[in-house]
Amino acid sequence: AKRADGGGVVVIGLGRFGCHLAGSLARMNREVLAIDRNPAQVQRWSAQLDRVVQADSTEEGALRQLGITSFGRAVVAIGASVEASVLTVLALVELGLPQVWARATSQKHAKILSSVGAHHVIFPEAETGDRVAHLIVSQLLDFI
């Protein structure tokens, strides 16, 4: 059975990136706690994921009540709102989550995330763009 033994992952923000991430982790048999403030998103993913809850992740008290301190890792997958992303990272750091991953949408956003204590900053769009460019170029080379 899956337990919150530090191996579980909290995924916050079930946009396109967050829901793919949560789904992949679940298929890898990780305990996943998914959080989104939008009830429609929570409803939409509740069939695919074990635990999906509606909460505003910028509220430290709400996160504590959900028992996130028993998780070893959290990923903040919120992209569009820099404010919500930064306040969520801050709340997770204050709660003492050992590994906080955060998605940045710009270099300045990344700087703020690091300065409030994010342990890892990721750029899904930039990283995918780079990877696809390399893929295309390597396939072009195959044709020469």
Which residue, 80 or 141, has its beta carbon nearer to ligand ATP?
Answer: 80
Q: Which of 8, 18, 90, 118 binds ligand ATP (CB under 6 A)?
A: 18
DSSP assignment letter at 3: -
CB count in 10 Å sphere of residue 16: 10
Residue 109 as a binder of ligand ATP (CB under 6 A): the answer is no
Question: Parallel, antiparallel, or unpaired: how do β-strands 51-54 and 73-76 relate?
Answer: unpaired
Residues 12, 77 contacting (CB under 8 angstroms): yes
Residue 14 as a binder of ligand ATP (CB under 6 A): the answer is yes
Which residue, 8 or 77, has its beta carbon nearer to ligand ATP?
Answer: 77
39-68 binders of ligand ATP (CB under 6 A): 41, 56-58
- Pick from 79, 82, 75: which is nearest to 100 by CA? 75
In the complex, the smallest distance separating the C-beta of residue 18 from ligand ATP, rounded to whole angstroms, is: 6
Q: What is the DSSP string of 72-84?
A: SEEEE---S-HHH
In the complex, the smallest distance separating the C-beta of residue 118 from ligand ATP, rounded to whole angstroms, is: 16
Cβ partners under 8 Å of residue 62, min gap 6: 55, 56
Q: Which of 78, 112, 113, 121 binds ligand ATP (CB under 6 A)?
A: 78
Residues 76, 63 contacting (CB under 8 angstroms): no
Q: Which of 80, 140, 141, 144 binds ligand ATP (CB under 6 A)?
A: 80
- Binding residues vs ligand ATP (CB under 6 A): 12-18, 35-38, 41, 56-58, 78-81, 84
